Chains A and B, each alone.
Chain A
Amino acid sequence: MDPQSDCTLVTAVSCHDIFDLQTGQSDSSPLAKGTAFAFIKAVQSVNERLVKLSEKQTLLFEVILLGKDCEEQAKSKIFDSAKYYDLEIGKFCFCSKEKFERTLQENHVKLFLSSDRDDVHSALKAGVPAALLCQQADQQVQNQLKVLFSGDLIGLTEDSTEYLKDLGFNDVQIHNFKAAKGRIQEFAMLIGEMRRRFGCEDSPLHTILMTVWGSRDICATALKTLRAWGLDVDEAFCLAGAPCTPILTVLQPHILWDDGLHNLKET
């Protein structure tokens, strides 16, 4: 059993994702909802269900709001809007762009979510587990928190690094890729434990494994690895090179663990 303090799944979300800070607002009205809204609401319903199962529940999500270079005026609007929408936000952290990664580390963030790929990438580089926050097509529909893991990343083993070399990755990139896999583990284990609190059906938490270019054996390895980490995923997809956008459109995940490879290739 994990020590009590380690059980909270501290998730940091950027205020730019929670609220739409671009469009002009009159002083009285709250900020418009952003990409992360559906995610926070889904997380809240997971927490509600967990608490229903056991009042002394310690394995819960804690959402903290991260504001990078926010003006004072914006800060108070953010506080008020969060209250208005009844968002359960554990902490409001405002910091400068430079201190951004340090703030994540200091708050023992178990997962940083952003719709900005660059932000996700910098967090990963700084050693913080980070994933992409997905735009939901329909903000209303979701009452289930959907987390999508990359089979390409998790199915990676010592043997398959040769395969990466063949693709043209250098040792540094391969090292980063392996490190990214390590960072998913803690988060996956916590999600796995949470998921086990619910049965096969009627779970507020839904986990998906997607292998985009790996073979079915990589997918099988990923399934077994996740199982060893305590996470039994609900859905699994193996695309073998088929474009993933049509499938993602059907799935509508909130959290997408990118396979890191795409990020790395761009550097």
Chain B
Amino acid sequence: MSEIKNNEASPAPAGGASGAEKDWAEAKAAFDNLKSKKPRPPKPHTAVTIAVSSRTLFNMVEERKVWEQEGLERYVSYQQEHEEQPLKPGAAFPFVKALMTVNTRLRELYPEGEELFDIVLMTNNHAQVGVRLINSINHYDLLIERFCMTGGKSPIGYLKAYMTNLYLSKDSDKVQEAIEAGIAAATMFTPDMETELSETQLRVAFDGDAVLFSDESEIIVKQHGLDTFFEHERKNENKPLAQGPLKCFLEALGKLQKKFYAKNERLNCPIRTYLVTARSAASSGARVLKTLRSWGLEIDEALFLAGAPKGPLLQKIRPHIFFDDQMFHIEGAKELGTIAAHVPYGIGQKYHKGKLIEQLAKKS
């Protein structure tokens, strides 16, 4: 998977380097002089940029119905009519609040730091809806200063321009496009019931195969069965797996975690990462842990389920977001109140509950 950002400053577009630096210096001066104590957004190429769509940040189900039933023009006027009414929180809202908490802690420890979360609102919406979105952001006092309202155009070009580390949307087509363009992305789902989440610690849970790692092993399971899979994993225990679409995001989280460790805050770190995999520890777990080690990445908790359902365990963990490539697991998580995000990558997309989707279609 291509990495959008490195730790060091990424090369600026030709001729744009001094222009970009100048733009940035002026903005820095402007914000530093602002009378209000609102924190300044970080520099794009050192920040961990998370782009959220309007429908993941806010609950726009009612509004969406207006668009579907009455068309675009009516939808835009409807939004304008309700401009002063703040929208209700959406699936990504708790995640965004948790990101803000981490930023506050980071700013306490590193007042001049540029390595922070940067939350960008990336929406297909028409700019006129923007006023309601800004009013809603103000209402909840969210730390979102950057946004793109593309008025119907695809956001992919802008995601790249903003150096996005993670893109969350309700639209699986856009998510697919983003992943194909090398940007970590996932389709968010609203859980069937509400869960109380930590307000002091950001918790992110990842599936292993086809999320953090490539789908190479999953292909073996699907095509040759479990026994072949176990043998293959044992034989290749010391050969790291290839990267998956969300590896870079885990890496970005790890980079921020290290900043807390450096200040002796390991026990009180406001970021916690979890691996929740269907692999079993004994027969196929070692390769996973060794791969992470070879990448220089740490994961706080690795949970091997050996095929057991993920829902109950996730209920205990209560992550602000859980990434998985298989809809079966997403649905299981959703049912028990976990905020789940589907990563449409790899061989898992062609299967449903272990059966090839084409065959299912033929049968019915």
What is the chain A residue whose CB lies nearest that of B128? A232
- In chain A, positions 236-267 with a C-beta closer than 8 Å to chain B are 236-247, 249-250
- In chain A, positions 205-223 with a C-beta closer than 8 Å to chain B are 206, 209, 212-213, 215-217, 219-220, 223
Q: Mark B20-41, 1 if CB is under 8 A from A, else 0.
A: 1001101111110111001011
- Give the residues in chain B near A243, CB-CB below 8 Å: 12, 16, 19-20, 23-24, 44
On chain A, the number of residues with a Cβ less than 8 Å from chain B's Cβ atoms is 37
Partner of A240, one of B26, B27, B157: B27
A235 interfacial by beta-carbon distance below 8 Å = yes
What is the chain A residue whose CB lies nearest that of B127? A236
Cβ-defined contact, A242 with B146, below 8 A: yes
Cα A233 to Cα B131 with chains together (Å): 12
Partner of B161, one of A162, A167, A212, A246: A246
B250 interfacial by beta-carbon distance below 8 Å = no
- Give the residues in chain A near B134, CB-CB below 8 Å: 216-217, 219-220, 223
Q: Which of B35, B150, B161 has the most CB of A within 10 A?
A: B161
Stretch of B137-145, B186-194, B324-332 that contacts chain A: B137-145
Cα A224 to Cα B135 with chains together (Å): 12
Q: Mark A20-34, 1 if CB is under 8 A from B, else 0.
A: 000000000000000
Cβ-defined contact, A236 with B149, below 8 A: yes
Q: Which of B31, B35, B127, B147 has the most CB of A within 10 A?
A: B127
A3 interfacial by beta-carbon distance below 8 Å = no
* Given A233-B127, A236-B127, A250-B157, also A245-B151 (CB < 8 A): no
B174 interfacial by beta-carbon distance below 8 Å = no
* Given A201-B152, A216-B147, A244-B23, also A236-B130 (CB < 8 A): yes
Which residues of chain B have a CB within 8 Å of any CB of chain A?
12-13, 16, 19-20, 23-24, 26-31, 33-35, 38, 40-41, 43-44, 72-73, 76, 126-128, 130-131, 134-135, 137-138, 144-153, 157-158, 160-162
Which residues of chain A have a CB within 8 Å of any CB of chain B?
162-163, 166-167, 199-201, 206, 209, 212-213, 215-217, 219-220, 223-224, 227, 232-247, 249-250
4 closest A-B pairs by beta carbon, nearest first, are: A241-B27, A246-B161, A243-B20, A236-B127
